[in-house]
Amino acid sequence: MSYAPPLEAPTGYWMDLPAASRYARVPQSRLLSAASQGDLDAVVTHPRRPGEWMVRRHAVDRWWREQVALV
């Protein structure tokens, strides 16, 4: 049986892809691919590191349920 990752932060919490990868327990390359293809709602902006992908926790949860939990 599969289940969603545990809630570790408020819904609006922003994460970079390394943090999102640890949170969702999937390879960072898989999240990068999903973000690049538009399957994961993400933005390419970070106040201290321009050019890095940022995602909200709820977007990772939604993507995880749609892509990982159903496999």
**Nearest in space to 19 (alpha carbons), one of 67, 65, 52:** 52
Separation CA 44–CA 36 (nearest Å): 10
Intra-chain end-to-end CA distance of the chain, in Å: 11
Residues in a beta bridge with 53 = 44
Q: What is the pLDDT along the chain (71 residues), one digit of tens a residue?
A: 455 555 555 556 889 899 999 999 999 999 999 998 999 999 987 667 666 889 999 999 999 998 876 65
What's the confidence (pLDDT) of residue 18? 92
State the DSSP H helix or E strand holding residue 29, giving kind and residue range, or none if neither.
helix 28-37
What's the confidence (pLDDT) of residue 67? 85
What's the confidence (pLDDT) of residue 48? 72
Both tokens assigned to 40: 């994961």
